[in-house]
Amino acid sequence: MSDDVTAVYEIESAVPLERAAEVIAGEQSCGTFVRVARESDELRARHAAQVVAVDELPPSGRPPLPGMTGDPCDVRRGRVTVRFPLANFGPSIPNLLAAVAGNLFELRDVGALRLVDLELPAAFAERYPGPRFGVAGTRRLLDRPDGPMIGTIVKPSIGLSGAELAQLVIELGDAGIDLIKDDELQGNPPGLPLRERVRVVTEALKEVADRNGRQPMYAFNITDDIDRLEPNHDLVLAAGGTCVMVCVNLVGLAGLEYLSRRTQLPIHGHRAMYGAYARSPQLGIDFRVWQKLARIAGADHLHTNGFANKFYETDDEVLASIAAVRAPLLGGYEALPVLSSAQTPGLAHTTYARTRSTDLLVLSGGGIHGHPQGSAAGVLAMREAWEAATSGEPLDQRAAAVPALAAALHTFGRA
């Protein structure tokens, strides 16, 4: 493995693709718009980013983003690979981003630019220890040695009283759920502050454990200012909680990394706001890249979206995201893909057929809480559907034997 960083972009440009690629490499290493004093050939040889490959792609059919130089009729689309000397920034996630992303999205020479892949040298693995728990550690903590992990989100997202939340946790815990998570909207609101939420939830979890000999993992959303992350984590740890959640984009990758150096619990990484720099196919940072950085920064669990989700991504995109999170990275950084958004029992067979994995955390919010027979029946329906899927039993056959599953399919449909 070399000491370089390789970044891959999909671009559209009205100038020849090779020239646009050179502009990208120049802007992000030692160049500016004019050649300046002290910019020696030796300096350029040492620090200039190198265009490694330019491969033409079919046109996107979309008009270029605003401000592009040249005639839109001349636009060609291509995949551009650029190699950056690690010596330009060292193994630092923030400084890496200045080079491989930085001002690139604003260049006039391109009418589209998306960072679609990133290969990092081993120096990053030396600096960033990454997730402490991953799949195996999470399975151990939530006591589910094999099979998919079934989770849910507290719904309504916000506004429950402490007593209502405790009741919900007990109901879900008694039903054998593996993980309950706060909604990303549930941070530290004045009505039910995190401190109080941690108290009532962990008490409820103890009650569940006493009764059933097993308690779900609860991912407390501790997202907040950096200075509050460690105290929030400590609050959860001291109360006997087993997981903390942060919205990665809201504390920043740097905030996640800060937390990961202090955590004694798995970090559940939510991707809220990811769409802001991902939904335009012509701009931003692909999930493939984002998840690498989030894992290096220490996320044990990463939201990938789920099949037939309520958001914009296609099933193929979701499958690619799950595969990306499961792929080893620099020899490690094991993380657990979290499937969510409108997940219901009817999706179990499709999900298993496409992923061929049970190293998944499948979250069903409305699909459990909205079950006509209540949350406990919702949990049972999810578990039964997944057991059928992994054992090769048709969904309808299992539903005929399990009324809660039949009711879920009736209410939420199937894939």
Q: Which segment (129-137, 233-241, 250-258, 351-359) binds a copy of itself by CB under 8 A?
A: 250-258
Instruction: Report if residue 68 touches a copy of itself, rule: CB under 8 A.
Output: yes
Strands laid side by side in the 4-13 sheet: 50-57, 76-85, 4-13, 112-119, 283-285
Restricted to residues 306-345, the positions that interact with a copy of itself (CB under 8 A) are: 310-314, 342
Q: Which segment (14-22, 99-107, 326-334, 348-356) binds a copy of itself by CB under 8 A?
A: 99-107
Restricted to residues 46-65, the positions that interact with a copy of itself (CB under 8 A) are: 46-47, 62-63, 65
Among 170, 254, 320, 323, binds a copy of itself (CB under 8 A): 254
Instruction: Report if residue 93 touches a copy of itself, rule: CB under 8 A.
Output: yes
Sign of the CA dihedral running 228, 231, 235, 241? positive
In whole angstroms, how close is the CB of 140 to a copy of itself at the nearest point? Answer: 28
Restricted to residues 15-34, the positions that interact with a copy of itself (CB under 8 A) are: 28-34
Among 52, 125, 141, 158, binds a copy of itself (CB under 8 A): 158
CA gap 411, 95 in Å, rounded: 49
Instruction: Report if residue 163 touches a copy of itself, rule: CB under 8 A.
Output: no
Which element (helix H / strand E) includes 227?
A: helix 226-238
Instruction: Report if residue 408 touches a copy of itself, rule: CB under 8 A.
Output: no
Check if the beta carbon of residue 157 is closer than 8 Å to that of residue 39: no
DSSP string for 45-99: HHH--EEEEEEEE----SPPPTT--S-GGG-EEEEEEEEEEGGGT-S-HHHHHHH
Instruction: Report if residue 4 touches a copy of itself, rule: CB under 8 A.
Output: no
Instruction: Report if residue 283 touches a copy of itself, rule: CB under 8 A.
Output: yes
Q: Which segment (72-80, 158-166, 172-180, 397-405) binds a copy of itself by CB under 8 A?
A: 158-166
In whole angstroms, how close is the CB of 86 to a copy of itself at the nearest point? Answer: 8
Instruction: Report if residue 156 touches a copy of itself, rule: CB under 8 A.
Output: yes
Indicate the residue among 19 and 46 with the shorter CB distance to a copy of itself. 46
Q: Give the residue among 268, 169, 159 at the shortest CA–CA distance from 220.
A: 268
Task: Compute CA distances 40 → 10, 30, 48, 344, whole Å.
Answer: 31, 10, 11, 61
Instruction: Report if residue 373 touches a copy of itself, rule: CB under 8 A.
Output: no
Among 8, 54, 80, 99, binds a copy of itself (CB under 8 A): 99
Q: Where are the beta strands (DSSP E) in 209-286?
A: 217-221, 243-247, 267-270, 283-285
The residue type of 324 is A
In whole angstroms, how close is the CB of 33 to a copy of itself at the nearest point? Answer: 5
In whole angstroms, how close is the CB of 162 to a copy of itself at the nearest point? Answer: 13
Instruction: Report if residue 356 touches a copy of itself, rule: CB under 8 A.
Output: no
In whole angstroms, how close is the CB of 242 to a copy of itself at the nearest point? Answer: 22
- Give bridge partners of residue 51 from the DSSP assignment: 82
In whole angstroms, how close is the CB of 309 to a copy of itself at the nearest point? Answer: 9
Restricted to residues 230-249, the positions that interact with a copy of itself (CB under 8 A) are: 247, 249
Give the pair of three-digit tokens for residue 70. Answer: 């040249």
Restricted to residues 259-278, the positions that interact with a copy of itself (CB under 8 A) are: 261, 272-278
Instruction: Report if residue 89 touches a copy of itself, rule: CB under 8 A.
Output: yes
Instruction: Report if residue 252 touches a copy of itself, rule: CB under 8 A.
Output: yes
Q: Which segment (98-106, 140-148, 204-212, 398-406) binds a copy of itself by CB under 8 A?
A: 98-106
Indicate the residue among 31 and 345 with the shorter CB distance to a copy of itself. 31
Among 325, 365, 383, 398, binds a copy of itself (CB under 8 A): 365
CA gap 220, 34 in Å, rounded: 52
CA of residue 309 relative to chain centroid, distance: 15
Restricted to residues 109-148, the positions that interact with a copy of itself (CB under 8 A) are: none
* CB-count burial class (<10 Å; 0-12, 13-18, 19+) for 106: exposed
CA gap 221, 246 in Å, rounded: 6
Restricted to residues 184-223, the positions that interact with a copy of itself (CB under 8 A) are: 184-185, 187-191, 223
Determine the Cα angle at 408 with ends 318 and 159, to 5°. 75
DSSP 3-state of 393: coil
Indicate the residue among 332 and 370 with the shorter CB distance to a copy of itself. 370
Task: Compute CA distances 213 → 174, 176, 229, whole Å.
Answer: 10, 11, 31
